[in-house]
Structure 1
Amino acid sequence: MQVLVTDPIADAGLDVLREAGHEVRTGYDLEGDALLEAAADANALIVRSGTEVTREVLEAGDELVIVGRAGIGVDNIDIEAATDRGVIVANAPEGNVRAAAEHTVAMTFAAARSIPQAHGRLKAGEWAKGDFLGTELNGRTLGVVGLGRVGQEVAKKLDPLGMDIVAFDPYIAEERADRLGATLVDLETCLETADVLTIHTPLTPETEGLIGESELESLAGGYLINVGRGGIVDEAALAAAVDDGTLAGAALDVFAEEPLSADSPLLDVEDIVLTPHLGASTEAAQTNVATSTAEQVVAALANEPVANALNAPSIDEAAFGRLAPYVELAETAGTVASQLLDGRIERVEVTYEGELADEDVEFVTASALEGVFSPLEWQVNAVNAPQIADDRGVEVVESKTHQTEDFQSLLSVTVSNGTTDRTVDGTLFAGDDQRIVRIDDYRVDAIPHGKMVVTRNADEPGVIGLIGSVMGDHDVNIAGMFNAREAIGGEALTVYNVDSEVPNAARTDLEADDRIIDVRYLTLST
């Protein structure tokens, strides 16, 4: 498949893609119409911060399966548009964590000890020993805004220096903060308490401009360090606060607009240390993010779950082997249930029984929804299926129980139009051999594959023979048959695997017999 790389990544990542059999095209200067043209036949797109992946780019990329961001920040990618089109967006959050944390620590020391300023003066011929009086970090308080992966790593590195740690992060559990030796507080308390404030939150509408003039006043006498994302700190207010002595100093590696403009007020303040977005600029980090992103692209193109998908459920690597067969089974059960139901789908319930109930099944449920909606001719996959359900007002219910009658694990998909339900139960035999074991109240043992016919009929002699004869009259070969009935003389349900499409005329001939209650022709992707 075609992988388009529009920002430079380490060769190790390109090697991963080529070794998986994919064709890699690089275009580091693409923009405008040239980018749209290049994206048109790409199955995957890999970017860093230099490429804006807009809705227009995503619409041009009809074949796109995934956009991989070789790094953490994805504010240059229209995730909503990607989700609408069923395109996975994935990043590499672990690859540069250590590098970003180490740069944060370096910037903290640089600001607290005026290292760049002293170096510059000495290189200029001045022995300015008496002009710099540094701040020791021992016994001081570190305030962390955003206690995610990088924030946690920074806390781990500065805690042994004797710093007390407070943190503002409304999304982290108090227990996790306690293990890091950090006290969770609100933003105002974090600012007022901190001697050094370090920022590690993503740039979102909620965090844009989070640290402004009043917040900087609350940090009076302290240092502000930002190796996270630009746009979170009001740069003009920061320059003024350091220049007038409200803050002791600051160090920034990221900016609202990059490259930093020559007229930025930050450049005029001696006690502000600036670096040109070097947080992830280590050889190890570049290799890590490149290979991590490439591995996720390879997984997506192989129709496997993606570990760091931002707009789709994912499966933990350790659980992938156990859950992967159920992903396909869930899609199959959803497809069968959907094609058995008449009318608009109003509700979907996915139930997990037995050992499967102990697993994280978010991706499995999304795959069931993909199966439910796929016969309706929407452009759907596990990425956008939950959004499709929400957009169309379809209620989705997920339930679990450890109780199951006959199987170690059982997966059930029920679809409803408000008055009628159709339920399909599936399980796995011998590892990953899919079976449909119940349709509504009928116990079957059907192999879901290719083209299928499901009939409901009176349980009377000669009916199965009639069905076989009609199929034969229309040149449809029956490859397999699985029969179930309510009771002797009641109703029966039979699942047929067939080798070719069943024409409408065959169905009409069958339904003309009073003993035939219902005939459904189903098609599966497997």
Structure 2
Amino acid sequence: MKVLVTDPIADAGLERLREAGYDVETAYDVEGAALLEAVSDANALVVRSGTEVTREVFEAAPELVIVGRAGIGVDNIDIDAATDHGVIVANAPEGNVRAAAEHTVAMTFAAARSIPQAHARLKTGEWAKGAFLGTEVNNKTLGIVGLGRVGQEVAKRLGALGMDLVAFDPYISEERAAQIGADLAELDEVLDRADFLTIHTPLTPETENMIGEEELAQLEGGYVINCARGGIIDEPALAAAVEDGVVAGAALDVFAEEPLPEDSPLLAVDDILVTPHLGASTGAAQENVATSIADQITAAFREEPVMNALNAPSMDESAFPRVKPYIGLAETAGKLAVQLFEGRVGEVTVTYAGDIADEDLDLVTASALKGVFEPLEWQVNAVNAPRIADERGIEVSETKRRQSEDFQSLITVEVGDGEESVSVCGTLFAGDDPRIVRVDGYRVDAIPGGHVIVTRNTDEPGVIGLIGSVMGEFDINIAGMYNARETIGGEALTVYNVDQEIPEDAREKLQADSRIIDVKYIALNGVTTREDA
């Protein structure tokens, strides 16, 4: 088996592949036609961020089994093309967790003690001992936005140094947070309490610019640390807040645009420290990601589960055609349920009824979890979703029953916190035509894809007309509408399939009407929203 490596990785990964008996070829400068020729007989391709793995590459590589990314990001790999060609794409998301956590701690101390500024002045011959009055972290409060793998590692390290921990993360249980020593709170409370704020969440439409002028004002006198993803903090607002003394200082390793432009306002403020995305730049981290990819290539060659596969379902080949249509349906149901649920997710229950209950459904349950966790994790997939649930202390249960009251087969995904919950049910019509048929007990018949708006309102004349009028006012075309109600004059729920996202102004106009209880916009099946564009 031939493994082609087109970007430099640590020698430990190369040696592991050779020890497994594979022919390892390195070609670090190939691109264009030379890359297509080099990959033509390869069984595995190992890249970092330098090699563009396009559809043309997959078309030129008929023997390719797996593409391994020695790191996290896979923007340079056409995953849809890989799937079309039956090629597994895998990354190494855990190899640099410790490195990123340690860089966060280093940046925290550097900001608190003005280490780079003092160093620079001493290098110019100035003994500026009286110019810098540092801040101790002991007995201070660390606010953590995102208590995933890196966030938990940072919490352990800084908690051990005497910091009180308070975290905002809607996807982790209170029990798991307590094990780490952190109080869970809403973002406003975290900002009010924190002396230091550290960011550990992916960049999504929901998190883009989530720390802006108002949030920085709540952090008055504190410090901001971001070694996660650029774009989460409003950079001009941060520069102004530090310059004006609203925030004491900041330390950033990631930026909305990289490399950081020379005219960035961040560079003009002495108390904002910047490093060029060094979070994963340690020898150990690079070795970890290299050996992780080597192990996953070995698993793929042996037809064993690939733990960090981003596009590869795993189950018995003969059963897969029967189960395949339910994979996307379960993921969509999970995505709908979690975005309709208002509380902190502590439980996920997936229930199968009817004929589908006779199948091996581990993959389908994992796909439901993928839908639940997709707003949270980088590259969450059906392979790693159960592990994410375990790491976050979320209880997952799967139940089956042979009888289904109304449908030949029915999948229900329910998310809850032990007291409140939301459930979404889906089925297949005519064998492979997916439908959402219940939302929290309301009977609907909705297409599970594209742009979806879910409204709750009092059941009285004129409400649907109001919603339609507002949609028309904002030039939003309604492709389908599915209405249900509890009782006459009670509460009603409507699912709208629309042709584009509903803007915030339209949502606010709807919710200003006393008859409208709630309006939720949800993008399904890879739809790009305006925030993504």
Give the TM-score, by structure 2 length: 0.58
In the alignment, structure 1 residue 108 sits paired with structure 2 residue 108: yes
Cα contact 1:7–1:48 (8 A) shared by 2: yes
Cα contact 2:323–2:364 (8 A) shared by 1: no
What does 1:501-512 align with in structure 2 at a 5 Å threshold?
none
Look up the match of 1:505: none
Q: How many Å apart are 1:150 and its aligned residue? A: 0.9
In structure 2, relative to structure 1, the CA distance for the partners of 1:5 and 1:176 (3 Å cut) is same
Look up the match of 1:477: none
In the alignment, structure 1 residue 331 sits paired with structure 2 residue 289: no
Work out the CA distance in 2 between the residues paired with 1:217 and 1:337: 51
Look up the match of 1:9: 9
In structure 2, relative to structure 1, the CA distance for the partners of 1:336 and 1:79 (3 Å cut) is closer
Work out the CA distance in 1 between the residues paired with 2:291 and 2:323: 40
Q: How many Å apart are 1:83 and its aligned residue? A: 3.9
Deviates more, 1:120-129 or 1:36-45: 36-45
Work out the CA distance in 2 between the residues paired with 1:279 and 1:140: 24
In structure 2, relative to structure 1, the CA distance for the partners of 1:349 and 1:151 (3 Å cut) is same
SS in 2 for 1:94: coil
The residue type paired with residue 233 of structure 2 is V
The residue type paired with residue 307 of structure 1 is M
Work out the CA distance in 1 between the residues paired with 2:399 and 2:65: 30
In structure 2, relative to structure 1, the CA distance for the partners of 1:208 and 1:308 (3 Å cut) is same
Work out the CA distance in 2 between the residues paired with 1:298 and 1:272: 44
SS in 2 for 1:236: helix
In structure 2, relative to structure 1, the CA distance for the partners of 1:277 and 1:417 (3 Å cut) is closer
Work out the CA distance in 2 between the residues paired with 1:156 and 1:262: 36
Q: How many Å apart are 1:31 and its aligned residue? A: 4.4
Q: How many Å apart are 1:351 and its aligned residue? A: 3.2
In the alignment, structure 1 residue 98 sits paired with structure 2 residue 105: no
Look up the match of 1:254: 254
Deviations 1:128-183 (A, max 9, x none): 11111111112211111221111100000011222111112222222211111112
The residue type paired with residue 160 of structure 2 is P
Look up the match of 2:308: 308
Look up the match of 1:237: 237
Deviates more, 1:224-233 or 1:57-66: 57-66
In structure 2, relative to structure 1, the CA distance for the partners of 1:162 and 1:337 (3 Å cut) is closer
Look up the match of 1:213: 213
In structure 2, relative to structure 1, the CA distance for the partners of 1:214 and 1:43 (3 Å cut) is farther
Q: How many Å apart are 1:219 and its aligned residue? A: 2.5
Look up the match of 2:199: 199
Work out the CA distance in 1 between the residues paired with 2:131 and 2:56: 54
Q: How many Å apart are 1:307 and its aligned residue? A: 1.5
Cα contact 2:248–2:271 (8 A) shared by 1: yes
Work out the CA distance in 2 between the residues paired with 1:54 and 1:348: 40
Look up the match of 1:362: 363
Deviations 1:321-365 (A, max 9, x none): xxxxxx5xx324568999xxxxxxxx973637xxxx9xx933899
Deviations 1:81-103 (A, max 9, x none): 54444432322232222121111
The residue type paired with residue 214 of structure 2 is S
Q: Which runs of 5+ in 2 are unaligned?
A: 325-353, 368-381, 384-397, 402-427, 432-533
Q: How many Å apart are 1:39 and its aligned residue? A: 4.3
Cα contact 1:349–1:399 (8 A) shared by 2: no
Look up the match of 1:296: 296
Deviates more, 1:100-109 or 1:70-79: 70-79
Cα contact 1:73–1:202 (8 A) shared by 2: no
Work out the CA distance in 1 between the residues paired with 2:139 and 2:323: 64
Look up the match of 1:387: none
In the alignment, structure 1 residue 349 sits paired with structure 2 residue 356: yes
SS in 1 for 2:133: coil
Look up the match of 1:466: none
Q: How many Å apart are 1:111 and its aligned residue? A: 0.4
Deviates more, 1:111-120 or 1:243-252: 243-252
The residue type paired with residue 299 of structure 1 is A
Work out the CA distance in 2 between the residues paired with 1:231 and 1:2: 39
SS in 1 for 2:356: strand
Q: How many Å apart are 1:76 and its aligned residue? A: 4.1
SS in 2 for 1:67: strand
Deviates more, 1:139-148 or 1:189-198: 189-198
In structure 2, relative to structure 1, the CA distance for the partners of 1:55 and 1:257 (3 Å cut) is farther
SS in 2 for 1:4: strand
Cα contact 1:351–1:399 (8 A) shared by 2: no
Deviates more, 1:261-270 or 1:50-59: 50-59
In the alignment, structure 1 residue 223 sits paired with structure 2 residue 230: no
In structure 2, relative to structure 1, the CA distance for the partners of 1:256 and 1:349 (3 Å cut) is same
In structure 2, relative to structure 1, the CA distance for the partners of 1:128 and 1:11 (3 Å cut) is same
Work out the CA distance in 2 between the residues paired with 1:182 and 1:40: 51
Look up the match of 2:172: 172
Deviations 1:46-75 (A, max 9, x none): 222334445555555444332222223344
Work out the CA distance in 1 between the residues paired with 2:36 and 2:146: 36
In the alignment, structure 1 residue 184 sits paired with structure 2 residue 170: no
Work out the CA distance in 2 between the residues paired with 1:217 and 1:77: 40
The residue type paired with residue 98 of structure 1 is R
Look up the match of 2:148: 148
Cα contact 1:66–1:89 (8 A) shared by 2: yes
In structure 2, relative to structure 1, the CA distance for the partners of 1:307 and 1:278 (3 Å cut) is same
Deviations 1:174-204 (A, max 9, x none): 2211111112222333233221111122233
Look up the match of 1:267: 267
SS in 2 for 1:349: helix
Identity of aligned residues (%): 72
Look up the match of 1:392: none
Deviations 1:385-435 (A, max 9, x none): xxxxxxxxxxxxx9669xxxxxxxxxxxxxx9969xxxxxxxxxxxxxxxx
In structure 2, relative to structure 1, the CA distance for the partners of 1:3 and 1:164 (3 Å cut) is same
Deviations 1:247-296 (A, max 9, x none): 11111122233333333322221111122222222222211111011111
Cα contact 1:313–1:363 (8 A) shared by 2: no
In the alignment, structure 1 residue 72 sits paired with structure 2 residue 72: yes
SS in 1 for 2:241: helix
Work out the CA distance in 1 between the residues paired with 2:60 and 2:191: 45
Larger Rg: 1
Cα contact 1:65–1:88 (8 A) shared by 2: yes
In structure 2, relative to structure 1, the CA distance for the partners of 1:101 and 1:78 (3 Å cut) is same
Deviations 1:439-458 (A, max 9, x none): xxxxxxxxxxxxxxxxxxxx
SS in 1 for 2:358: strand
Look up the match of 2:335: none
In structure 2, relative to structure 1, the CA distance for the partners of 1:89 and 1:221 (3 Å cut) is farther
The residue type paired with residue 7 of structure 2 is D
Cα contact 1:39–1:61 (8 A) shared by 2: yes
Cα contact 1:75–1:203 (8 A) shared by 2: no
Q: How many Å apart are 1:217 and its aligned residue? A: 2.9
Q: Which runs of 5+ in 1 are unaligned?
A: 315-326, 339-346, 367-381, 384-397, 402-415, 420-526
Give the TM-score, by structure 1 length: 0.59
The residue type paired with residue 16 of structure 1 is R
The Cα RMSD (Å) is: 3.4
In structure 2, relative to structure 1, the CA distance for the partners of 1:185 and 1:399 (3 Å cut) is closer
